[in-house]
Amino acid sequence: MKEQHAIVKLSKKRQEPTEATQRGFTVVIGAHSLDMAIVREVHWLAKESGAPLTVYMVAPTTPWISALITPQAEQIKRLVARLDARLVTVTPKEAAEKIATEWDDTSPTRVFFGPRKRWPWDIGVSRALFHQLTSYTNEIGVDTIIDSPVPGDARTHVVWRLDQHRPWYHDYVLSLFAVCIAALSVQWLKNLMPAENLSIVFLTAVIFSATAYGFAAALFASVISVGLFDFFFVSPTFSFSFSSPDNVLLVILFVLVSGITSNLAGRLRDQAEAAQERESEARALFQLTRDVATSDTIEETYAAVVRQSASLFDAETIVLVPYQGPSDSDTSKAAKSLQPVYPPQAGLNQDHIEAARWAFAHGQSCGLGTDKFSVLDTFFRPLETANGVVGVLALRKISETVLTGNKAGRMLDSVCRLSAVAVERARQSQELENARVISQTESLRSALLSSISHDFGTPLASVIGSASSLLTYGDRYTPEVTHELLTTILEEAERLNKFVKNLMQMTRVESGALIPRLQLTDVDDLIGTTLDSAQRRLEKHDLYVEVAERLPLVNVDFVLLETVLMNLLENACKYSPPGTSIAITAYEKDGHVVIDMKDNGQGIPSEDLGAIFDKFFRVKARDRKIAGTGLGLAICKGILEGHGGSIEALSDGLGQGTTMRIHLPSDTSDIAMTA
């Protein structure tokens, strides 16, 4: 009573806790054998929530009990230290006041209690301390008190009925049948030994009833067994003589055996059912984990959560998430954008949506079986991770008995925790993919704008300057100057035309609109036609061409392949100093026609060899020194892949020249253009 008065008195001077102190988790234990498991479980809950953990251990003052629990207490201390939690050791007398005083400052969000004492000499939290602390937590406004009762395995209890699903008379009828069989057995065995020694046969019927049906049926079997044994087999027969001490002792013996046997049978059945429940829970969670882990898209993740939840709780399941994602710092704004995402045809009305938004905003369950929105036929559970609420799981047409059961509660907690992590991971993966696509798009857009602004700007400036000079001072220029200006206009216009064609051709390659018109082509003719078109570009370079004899024909689009060779030849001329040589060789290798175009120019760094065929890519060492859009090699790659061929770049590094190698299958036929 003194401790209770101290608690009430302390509650009057309590101040409002800050937001930081309201996130703490507290465990009150008494060095019981089950307390280490409780501390570990609460540690994980606190870790997921990012909250501090405080452990209060009530140490008994009785010497022999202290000596008994010392090893267990030391293990708990080491565990708490390893988990970076705070340990406070208190005595039973000071426990209530000291814990209440600290709670006055910290105001924990959740309080967990270890097993309570059953006897004064037992280990655990005393029931008086338990009731005092729970009363105080209710008084200071701590909403959640999670009680950890003593498991059934730790109690000596008598199971009245093992199976509550069968009719009550079923147990008694079958027990009576077992006793009758025992009586018939005694009737047959009494010719071999005295009937007074055969009472043990009736004991087998009692043990059977206790094992199969529980203590009530066993007690019934005990009374019937003693009655039949006394009436038929004890002299004088066909009369009851319960006044005999032997019969009284026999009844007491049967009742004791019934109680012990039914207790053992009940505990074994409880353990078996608990093991089956744990197995089913583990199997369901494993299935959910496997489905989530193998999901490639966020829709598949939602589908896995809905499918497993519906199977576990026998209810219609719906996942709701905010439109802008869980990372939005404004929780109320995210709650307002909450919407069903799976299944697509959820069928939720406005009342359901409002309830789901309330659950998301407050981080609490609502709907069926709760105090909030209880008129609805749907239960809403927020999906919460360490980063906050990421969504809401809605269970429609679910039984209230399922929601209130301990098994369903544990399973629902596990499923929601795992589902929350899965939803958060899926949304983060989607956000990363969206960010990657946006970044890539912005990079291409920047490259395109940079290419257009620079590479288009230079020839346009030349054209405008030459044209304006001719218009303004044309009558003053000599024929040679006029010819030079007109030549400049023509060359720069052709360059602009080529840039535009490259952009258009790249668009056609990527969209699949560029369809080759295949025909059998001689590689020698293809190279010759390309060289005739590039005579002016080759004036300042030495050219060497070598085509193998009897080279097989290739089935290609002549015009497109000429475009490829022309692009490669122009690159070789642009990136090779005047006076250097360019060599073109064609030969057959491994069923392919190979065309090598080797120059003695600047070369390509090894780290850029794999990227030079990307759109708008320009080797950094040459960037903006030579005009170009960075599309030529990308176009060449697209055209060659559409013909079933390939292209690769070979270079020993800067200053070592470059070899562009084309592979074309010599037996290609009926190839559709693909981008």
Q: If DSSP states are collapsed to H, E and C, what string results for 43-79?
A: HHHHHHHCCCEEEEEECCCCHHHHHHHHHHHHHHHHH
Residue 227, φ and ψ in degrees, nearest 5: -65, -50
Q: pLDDT at position 167, please?
A: 79
Q: pLDDT at position 397, please?
A: 79
Amino acid symbol at 207:
I
The domain made up of 297-430 has a fold known as: Beta-Lactamase (3.30.450)
Nearest to 369 by CA among 343, 332, 408: 408
The residue assigned the tokens 């009369």 is 239
Number of residues written out for the chain: 675
Amino acid symbol at 166:
R
Give the integer Cα–Cα distance in Å for 516 and 564.
Answer: 13
- Give the model's confidence band at 26: pLDDT under 50 very low, under 70 low, under 90 confident, else very high: confident
Q: pLDDT at position 586, please?
A: 92
Inter-axis angle of helices 479-511 and 632-642, nearest 10: 50
Which residues have C-beta within 8 Å of that of residue 211, sequence separation ≥ 6?
261, 262, 265
Q: pLDDT at position 594, please?
A: 92
Q: Is 656 left (phi over 0), alpha (psi -120 to 50) or beta?
A: alpha
506 SS3 class: helix
Helix (H) or strand (E) holding 668: none
Burial of 675 (0-12, 13-18, 19+ CB in 10 A): middle
Amino acid symbol at 270:
D
Helix (H) or strand (E) holding 145: strand 144-147
Burial of 208 (0-12, 13-18, 19+ CB in 10 A): buried
pLDDT tens digits along 585-643? 999 988 889 999 988 888 877 766 666 777 656 544 444 445 455 667 777 887 788 77
416, 383 Cβ separation under 8 angstroms: yes
DSSP string, 89-110: EE-HHHHHHHHHHHHHHH--SE
Question: Which CATH number is 2-152 given?
Answer: 3.40.50.620
Average pLDDT, the chain: 76
Question: Bigger pLDDT: 577 or 118?
Answer: 577
Whether the per-residue pLDDT at 140 is higher than 80: the answer is no
Strand partners, 382: 392
Q: pLDDT at position 596, please?
A: 92
Q: pLDDT at position 595, please?
A: 92
What sign does the dihedral 180-184-185-186 (CA atoms) show?
positive
Give the integer Cα–Cα distance in Å for 470 and 481.
Answer: 10
| Residue 215 DSSP one-character state | H
Stretch 28-40: mean pLDDT, rounded? 80
The domain made up of 519-665 has a fold known as: Heat Shock Protein 90 (3.30.565)
pLDDT tens digits along 373-407? 888 888 898 888 877 888 888 888 787 766 766 56
Q: pLDDT at position 243, please?
A: 54
Give the integer Cα–Cα distance in Å for 205 and 175.
Answer: 7
Give the integer Cα–Cα distance in Å for 201 and 215.
Answer: 19
Q: pLDDT at position 150, please?
A: 45
What sign does the dihedral 553-558-561-565 (CA atoms) show?
positive
Q: pLDDT at position 541, please?
A: 85
Amino acid symbol at 644:
G
Burial of 526 (0-12, 13-18, 19+ CB in 10 A): buried
Strand partners, 54: 26, 86
Whether the per-residue pLDDT at 17 is higher than 60: the answer is no
pLDDT tens digits along 490-543? 877 877 776 666 666 656 655 555 667 788 888 888 888 888 877 777 888 888
Stretch 357-362: mean pLDDT, rounded? 88
Give the integer Cα–Cα distance in Å for 650 and 598.
Answer: 9
583, 598 Cβ separation under 8 angstroms: yes
Joined tokens for residue 125: 């939290």
Domain ranges across the chain: 2-152, 168-267, 297-430, 519-665
Nearest to 406 by CA among 183, 653, 146: 146
463, 493 Cβ separation under 8 angstroms: yes
Stretch 147-167: mean pLDDT, rounded? 56
- Same fold? 2-152, 519-665: no
- Give the model's confidence band at 191: pLDDT under 50 very low, under 70 low, under 90 confident, else very high: confident
Whether the per-residue pLDDT at 160 is higher than 70: the answer is no
Give the integer Cα–Cα distance in Å for 230 and 225.
Answer: 8
Joined tokens for residue 566: 């022309």
Stretch 658-675: mean pLDDT, rounded? 65
| Residue 28 DSSP one-character state | E
Whether the per-residue pLDDT at 670 is higher than 50: the answer is no
319, 340 Cβ separation under 8 angstroms: yes
Angle at 334 between CA 329 and CA 336, to 5 degrees: 145
The residue assigned the tokens 């693909």 is 674
Nearest to 65 by CA among 95, 32, 103: 32
Question: Bigger pLDDT: 304 or 586?
Answer: 586
Stretch 198-214: mean pLDDT, rounded? 80
- Give the model's confidence band at 455: pLDDT under 50 very low, under 70 low, under 90 confident, else very high: low
378, 394 Cβ separation under 8 angstroms: yes
What sign does the dihedral 513-518-522-528 (CA atoms) show?
negative
Whether the per-residue pLDDT at 11 is higher than 50: the answer is no
Measure Cα distances from 153 to 160, 265, 573, 645 in Å: 16, 12, 88, 73
Inter-axis angle of helices 298-313 and 245-293, nearest 10: 160
232, 201 Cβ separation under 8 angstroms: no
CB atoms within 10 A of CB 393: 26
Joined tokens for residue 643: 């013909």
Whether the per-residue pLDDT at 155 is higher than 60: the answer is no
Which residues have C-beta within 8 Å of that of residue 387, sequence separation ≥ 6?
326, 327, 424
Give the integer Cα–Cα distance in Å for 512 and 674.
Answer: 6
Stretch 57-73: mean pLDDT, rounded? 76
Stretch 115-139: mean pLDDT, rounded? 76
Of 339-343, 440-444, 488-492, the one with minimum mean pLDDT is 440-444
338 SS3 class: strand
SS3 content of the chain, % helix, strand, coil (to 5): 55, 15, 30
Q: pLDDT at position 9, please?
A: 39
- Give the model's confidence band at 668: pLDDT under 50 very low, under 70 low, under 90 confident, else very high: very low
Omega of the bond leading into 236 within 30 degrees of 0 (cis): yes
Give the integer Cα–Cα distance in Å for 491 and 120.
Answer: 105
